[in-house]
Amino acid sequence: MSADTAALLKTPLHALHVELGAKMVPFAGYDMPVQYPTGVMTEHRHTRTAAGLFDVSHMGQVLLVGDDAAAALETLVPVDIIGLELFKQRYALFTDENGGILDDLMVARRTDGLFVVVNAGCRDQDIAHMQKHLGGRCEVRPLPDQALLALQGPQAVTALSRLNADVARLVFMTGGFFELDGIPTFVTRSGYTGEDGYEISVAADRSVELARKLLAQPEVKPIGLGARDSLRLEAGLCLYGHDIDTTTTPVEASLTWAIQKVRRAGGERAGGYPGAAVVDRQLAEGAARKRVGLVGSERMPVREGAKLVNEAGEEVGVVTSGTLGPTVNKPVALAYVTKAHAALGTQLFALVRDKRTPMTVSSTPFTPNGYFRG
């Protein structure tokens, strides 16, 4: 083990990944599985057709406890948290004073508080951010002894139902406490692949036991970070630090669906979060640039950082994520382009090794979502 590897954190499932033959790589300060012996393409296709198990224990889990927790959290996000019903989950964004995005997160209302899941790379700063701004109004309780598993794919419900049939009753973006074959968990029907599936918070000391029970199901195979990235990209979902960051606002990032009417100008609880003036102005007037989906007509994959030009060769944008989509079987990308070039069907060119690769502005997701809405 090199000195670099020794400094990396390990999830509770680390030894299991090694046992399963995973190729381990550094990611967000953790030693994480990028792929297993079958490879990224097979893992991607397996998740789209059956069920894949992901270790996402590197992400930050936090409980906000107290009667004032929802109102307090609304001072940091442009999202309706007060109106979030018991066992419902919602996507949210931490914004800064300029309307830039500090991180994206999930919030679920549980009987014991608001359950918040933040990105691994932003975890420590997000927890500090909440402790600083919310600590006087509610308890900010990090949950470092919880692991997090994601079971994703059209057959996830079949596999998980064998451990507890009641999980089938959940619909997209709802959750509950379930014993999975005797193991206490908090389960939400959500994920980051565009498929139906579940995210499972479980005590770290029982996470390997649960993972083995899931991997014993005939539908389930372990999936690494490589396929996680290609799956989320085909689903048109943003990756923090790439497609969204402090230089992008929710409006520029095409995430306005996450800002409920009650938090917009004229709404009952409008504003009151960092950067509200910037976001409200952009909601009213539009932003100078916009995140769009792109689909290529040639086989050349277009990667993050590729410049985008119009027919005349003028630079009009930049790619933030790109891959050859295994399901759609063509290059797909997320990019920021000027407002004038953001309309669906607009023809652009990505510069790849000084060659112009034709791309068309397209709607996302690039492959239909499989979410179960009841």
For 157-168, write each residue's pLDDT tens digit: 999 999 999 999
DSSP string of 209-234, one letter each residue? HHHHHHHTSTTEEE--HHHHHHHHHH
Q: CA dihedral in degrees (239, 298, 328, 118; nearest 10)?
A: 0
The pair of structure tokens assigned to 64 is 């906000």
Kindly state the average pLDDT of the residues 38-65.
98
Determine the pLDDT at residue 354: 84
**Distance between CA atoms of 70 and 88, rounded to whole angstroms?**
13
Kindly state the average pLDDT of the residues 32-51.
98
Specify whether the CB–CB gap between 321 and 269 falls below 8 A. Answer: no
Predicted confidence (pLDDT) at residue 2 exceeds the cutoff of 60: no
Predicted confidence (pLDDT) at residue 330 exceeds the cutoff of 90: yes
Distance of CA 280 to CAs 9, 102, 132, 264, 287, Å?
Answer: 40, 18, 25, 7, 11
Confidence of residue 192 (pLDDT cuts 50, 70, 90): very high
Predicted confidence (pLDDT) at residue 3 exceeds the cutoff of 60: no
Q: Give Cβ neighbours of residue 33 (< 8 Å, ≥ 6 apart).
A: 17, 20, 22, 23, 24, 25, 55, 222, 224, 225
Cis peptide before 365 (omega within 30 of 0): yes
Percent residues over pLDDT 70 in the chain? 98
**Distance between CA atoms of 289 and 334, rounded to whole angstroms?**
13
Amino acid letter, 239: L
Determine the pLDDT at residue 97: 98
Specify whether the CB–CB gap between 265 and 271 falls below 8 A. Answer: yes
Amino acid letter, 145: D
Name the average pLDDT for the chain: 97
Percent residues over pLDDT 90 in the chain? 98
Axis-axis angle for helices 40-49, 225-234 (nearest 10): 50
Predicted confidence (pLDDT) at residue 274 exceeds the cutoff of 80: yes
Kindly state the average pLDDT of the residues 263-279.
98
Q: How many CA atoms lie within 13 A of 147 on its CB side?
A: 21
DSSP string of 316-332, one letter each residue? EEEEEEEEEETTTTEEE
Predicted confidence (pLDDT) at residue 36 exceeds the cutoff of 60: yes
Do strands 101-110 and 89-95 pair parallel, antiparallel, or not at all (unpaired)? antiparallel
Could you count the other beta carbons within 10 Å of the beta carbon of residue 68? 12
Q: Measured in whole angstroms, how far is the alpha carbon of residue 153 from the centre of its chain?
A: 15
Kindly state the average pLDDT of the residues 98-122.
98
**Distance between CA atoms of 134 and 73, rounded to whole angstroms?**
7
Residue 348: helix, strand or coil by DSSP? Answer: strand
Predicted confidence (pLDDT) at residue 5 exceeds the cutoff of 80: no
**Distance between CA atoms of 57 and 10, rounded to whole angstroms?**
9
Specify whether the CB–CB gap between 64 and 72 falls below 8 A. Answer: yes
Enter the DSSP assignment of 85.
Answer: P
**Distance between CA atoms of 75 and 38, rounded to whole angstroms?**
46
Kindly state the average pLDDT of the residues 91-117.
98
Specify whether the CB–CB gap between 50 and 155 falls below 8 A. Answer: yes
Predicted confidence (pLDDT) at residue 197 exceeds the cutoff of 90: yes
Confidence of residue 4 (pLDDT cuts 50, 70, 90): low
Confidence of residue 346 (pLDDT cuts 50, 70, 90): very high
Report which of 16, 109, 1, 121 is spatially closest to residue 58, judged by C-alpha positions.
121
The pair of structure tokens assigned to 13 is 């499932």
The pair of structure tokens assigned to 48 is 């789209």
